[in-house]
A and B are shown apart, each in its own frame.
Chain A
Amino acid sequence: MSISSAHTSRSAEAGNLLARIDALTGSSADAFLALHDDTDRLVAGVEQPLFASELVWTDAELQAARWIHEVESAMGRAGLRLARSGEIGRPPRARSASIVALAMHYAGEAMKWATAVGARSAAPCATLNQAMSAAIGLGIAREPLELTIARQARRCSVESLYVRTLLLCRFAGGNITCRQLEILDALMWSWLPILHTVPGPAGQTLHVDVESSDGLRLGMADPDGRCMHLDRDALERAYDATLAEFQAGNIVPEGLTASFPMSDHIAALDVMRRGLRRWMQVPVARAPRLQVAGKDVELFRGLAAVAAAIARPRAPMLTIDVGDAPPALSGTRPHRDLVDAVYETPRHIVQLRDLSSSGIGVSVSAPALAGLTLNEIVALRLRDEGPLVLGKIARVLPAQDGRRVVGIRRLGGRAVLMKMDRIDGASAETWHLVHVPGAEASGRDDAYLVTESQLRSGATLRTEVGQRSYDLCLDRVRDRGPGWVLAGFGIRAVAARAKECA
């Protein structure tokens, strides 16, 4: 069933569901538990096809994702409201624990879908902490529970779902996609028995103060023992065991996420690894961003377009002035030089939003987004007369007015096109490769942007720079994406450049 039909057929029931959640009061615990059954069933039917979709969702899919976010946020708020009311103090204990646990669950789900639809809602750590504090006070935080979640019976506790939600809050940032976040969440569900807190260990810990409005914090154990600490050793063991399963060819855990692409699993494992390893290190601050007021720039997509843009003079000598069409209408701008006039090269115009030393945020209209893929190689000129900046598509998020925000991660420094002669005897070819210098003066981060076949050829290439001629081999992958590889190289020989005949 398609997203739109699944959503449309349920739209009446779905709209009714939101109204019923909104009507919940602080004393309707039984109604909340009944609503959970309906929410779980309806959401499961809508969310599964969404994960099968490619990078850019259609409007119907985006609408479905927003609906899930709205419903789960409302359930989370209602559950947390109940958890903080006197309602959960009434017996039986299992009922009270179920309400708080479901509140934690929905807060986590809302967090995931906020990432997916680009909603910038604040992490509900203050209310989560209050609910956890109430559960500890009532002695129900570790009460064993069996709840039906995503149509499966799950053994859990208030504490384990609290830790799961805090970890989701911590991971739901940066470049993570909704599929990768879903994989992380599936891993945490499989690790639920070890998602608990322990007495303050030595050294750096991830901990939370339930009396504060903060989420998980990294640092030294608190001296007055107020904080709850995550079990780092258990989590690291679980991570290592998961990695071992992948190394053996087993995709874990079983279920919906097992069908996701392997690249998403690897990205999710990397996020988890960085999160765990950071426990041992001083946290690194995110590069500061500079907001830019919506300047239009041209985005070059794909290896061929990037190489052509680098080769092309910054200011074309022959131009036809066709004026500036409003980019928001079409996403592309009419051709402006004679080459484009003949070959109808499409131009992708985007709006700069923010800049940092590691990335660039641009706003893109929906038509210009067509065909864009994660990790695609792109280039743009931040200043009219400035050099091209290389990058890869790291993230796409919905924004206002039907546009999308695209996060581009910068790659290397100022790129140049270099002429390279193949000298290994396989064939007499001349390649024009994009040289991407690294920041290291030792040259250890320098690389070339090439195709997979060029890398695989193992060619020895000769190029002349300054007074010297260098023979080099592309021999390692620094980064890659669809249709491109950023290849490191080793220099095999250097010679003085042959003097040209007069």
Chain B
Amino acid sequence: MEPGAERAKNRDRYLALRFPHAVTRAEQLRSTERVLGAARNYFDQAKHDRCMELLDVAIGECPSSLPYLLARIEYAYLMNNEEALRQAVSGVRSLDPPPDTWRRVVDLAGRMLDELRVAGHARGEAQDAPWPDMPNWIGVSMDLTGDAHAIEFHRDVRNALGGEAPR
């Protein structure tokens, strides 16, 4: 097998084992919906490393994809990971994003990164609120119906078992 083909095969094997069901081939990294959905699932399951690694490989595949970089900024903020946040901000800056988008990046990242605050970038009004106005670049559903249904379902199954605790 050609070295390039061997490498591509190894890469697909790695992706399929590392991100089962979410990504099985490198070309699937170009699907924003698929990648952001899978990253959200990993974050929901507290698999933070897996979430960030998926975004990293997706950014490696599509270096000029603003949605991936913005999602990385929001996850880095939620994980309180300054280093990842700094890298993602630098990546977004290099893409010369629209002014509104850049202002929101600074609003959010400036809460954690001194250099953005000190550099005198515009600070959004939300900055002074106890919780920032999250931009939702990670694509969280604002509809909480599914969460409510999941609680009901868990409770109904538990009741059907005679109220026995899951463990």
Q: B149 contacts which chain A residues (CB < 8 A)?
A: 470, 491, 494
Whole-angstrom distance between the alpha carbons of A472 and B152 in the complex?
A: 13
Instruction: Find A439's partner among B8, B9, B156, B166 (CB 8 Å cutoff).
Output: B166
B130 interface contact, C-beta 8 A: no
A249 & B7 in contact (Cβ 8 Å cutoff): yes
Q: B140 contacts which chain A residues (CB < 8 A)?
A: none
B154 & A441 in contact (Cβ 8 Å cutoff): yes
- 8 Å CB contacts to B: which residues of A402-452? 412-414, 416, 435, 437-446
B166 & A412 in contact (Cβ 8 Å cutoff): yes
**Nearest-Cβ distance from residue A441 to partner chain B, whole angstroms:** 6
Interface string of A253-275 (1 = CB under 8 A from B): 00000000011001000000100
- 8 Å CB contacts to A: which residues of B131-166? 146-147, 149-161, 164-166
Whole-angstrom distance between the alpha carbons of A455 and B77 in the complex?
A: 33
A2 interface contact, C-beta 8 A: no
B157 & A468 in contact (Cβ 8 Å cutoff): no
Interface centre among A248, A438, A490 (most CB of B within 10 A): A248
Q: B120 contacts which chain A residues (CB < 8 A)?
A: none
- 8 Å CB contacts to B: which residues of A197-253? 243, 246-251
A478 interface contact, C-beta 8 A: yes
A243 & B151 in contact (Cβ 8 Å cutoff): no
Whole-angstrom distance between the alpha carbons of A478 and B44 in the complex?
A: 11
Whole-angstrom distance between the alpha carbons of A117 and B18 in the complex?
A: 29
**Nearest-Cβ distance from residue B121 to partner chain A, whole angstroms:** 28
Q: B13 contacts which chain A residues (CB < 8 A)?
A: 262
Whole-angstrom distance between the alpha carbons of A277 and B17 in the complex?
A: 21
Q: B7 contacts which chain A residues (CB < 8 A)?
A: 248-250
Q: A440 contacts which chain B residues (CB < 8 A)?
A: 154
B45 interface contact, C-beta 8 A: yes
Whole-angstrom distance between the alpha carbons of A416 and B20 in the complex?
A: 25
**Nearest-Cβ distance from residue B67 to partner chain A, whole angstroms:** 20
Which stretch, B49-57, B68-76, B92-100, B108-116, touches the partner chain A? B49-57
Whole-angstrom distance between the alpha carbons of A480 and B17 in the complex?
A: 10
A391 interface contact, C-beta 8 A: no
Instruction: Find A413's partner among B10, B18, B160, B165 (CB 8 Å cutoff).
Output: B165
Q: A247 contacts which chain B residues (CB < 8 A)?
A: 11, 14, 53, 56-57, 60
Q: B154 contacts which chain A residues (CB < 8 A)?
A: 437-438, 440-443, 446
Q: A413 contacts which chain B residues (CB < 8 A)?
A: 165-167
Interface string of B26-43 (1 = CB under 8 A from A): 000000000000100100
A243 & B150 in contact (Cβ 8 Å cutoff): no
- Interface size bucket, A side? 35 or more
In this complex, what residue of B is CB-closest to A273?
Answer: B49
Interface centre among A412, A413, A443 (most CB of B within 10 A): A443
Instruction: Find B150's partner among A251, A412, A439, A442 (CB 8 Å cutoff).
Output: A442
- Tell me the total A-B contact number using a CB cutoff of 8 A: 111
Q: B166 contacts which chain A residues (CB < 8 A)?
A: 412-414, 437-439
**Nearest-Cβ distance from residue A102 to partner chain B, whole angstroms:** 35
A477 & B164 in contact (Cβ 8 Å cutoff): no
Interface centre among A243, A247, A277, A490 (most CB of B within 10 A): A247
A315 interface contact, C-beta 8 A: no
Whole-angstrom distance between the alpha carbons of A480 and B20 in the complex?
A: 9
A466 & B160 in contact (Cβ 8 Å cutoff): yes
Whole-angstrom distance between the alpha carbons of A485 and B20 in the complex?
A: 10
Contacts known (A249-B11, A470-B153); A263 close to B60, Cβ less than 8 A? no
B151 & A442 in contact (Cβ 8 Å cutoff): yes
Instruction: Find A476's partner among B9, B21, B60, B156 (CB 8 Å cutoff).
Output: B21
Whole-angstrom distance between the alpha carbons of A446 and B53 in the complex?
A: 25
Whole-angstrom distance between the alpha carbons of A446 and B149 in the complex?
A: 12
**Nearest-Cβ distance from residue B37 to partner chain A, whole angstroms:** 9
Instruction: Find B161's partner among A273, A416, A442, A476 (CB 8 Å cutoff).
Output: A416
In this complex, what residue of A is CB-closest to B21?
Answer: A477
Q: A491 contacts which chain B residues (CB < 8 A)?
A: 146, 149-150, 153
Q: A476 contacts which chain B residues (CB < 8 A)?
A: 21-22, 38, 41, 45
B20 & A477 in contact (Cβ 8 Å cutoff): yes
**Nearest-Cβ distance from residue B60 to partner chain A, whole angstroms:** 7
B17 & A414 in contact (Cβ 8 Å cutoff): no
B156 & A466 in contact (Cβ 8 Å cutoff): yes
In this complex, what residue of B is CB-closest to A262?
Answer: B13
Whole-angstrom distance between the alpha carbons of A477 and B38 in the complex?
A: 10
Instruction: Find A246's partner among B14, B147, B151, B161 (CB 8 Å cutoff).
Output: B14
A243 & B53 in contact (Cβ 8 Å cutoff): yes
A108 interface contact, C-beta 8 A: no
A437 & B152 in contact (Cβ 8 Å cutoff): no
Q: A443 contacts which chain B residues (CB < 8 A)?
A: 150-151, 153-154
**Nearest-Cβ distance from residue B43 to partner chain A, whole angstroms:** 12
A494 & B152 in contact (Cβ 8 Å cutoff): yes
Whole-angstrom distance between the alpha carbons of A382 and B10 in the complex?
A: 42
Of all A-B residue pairs in the complex, the 9 with the closest CB atoms, nearest first, are A413-B166, A249-B11, A443-B154, A443-B150, A249-B7, A491-B149, A466-B156, A249-B10, A437-B166
6 contacts between A and B (CB under 8 A): A262-B13, A416-B160, A439-B166, A441-B151, A465-B160, A476-B41
Q: A413-B167, A476-B41 are in contact. List 20 more A-B contacts (CB 8 A).
A: A246-B14, A247-B11, A249-B7, A249-B11, A249-B12, A250-B7, A262-B13, A414-B166, A416-B157, A416-B161, A438-B154, A440-B154, A441-B155, A466-B160, A467-B156, A472-B153, A475-B41, A477-B21, A488-B41, A491-B153
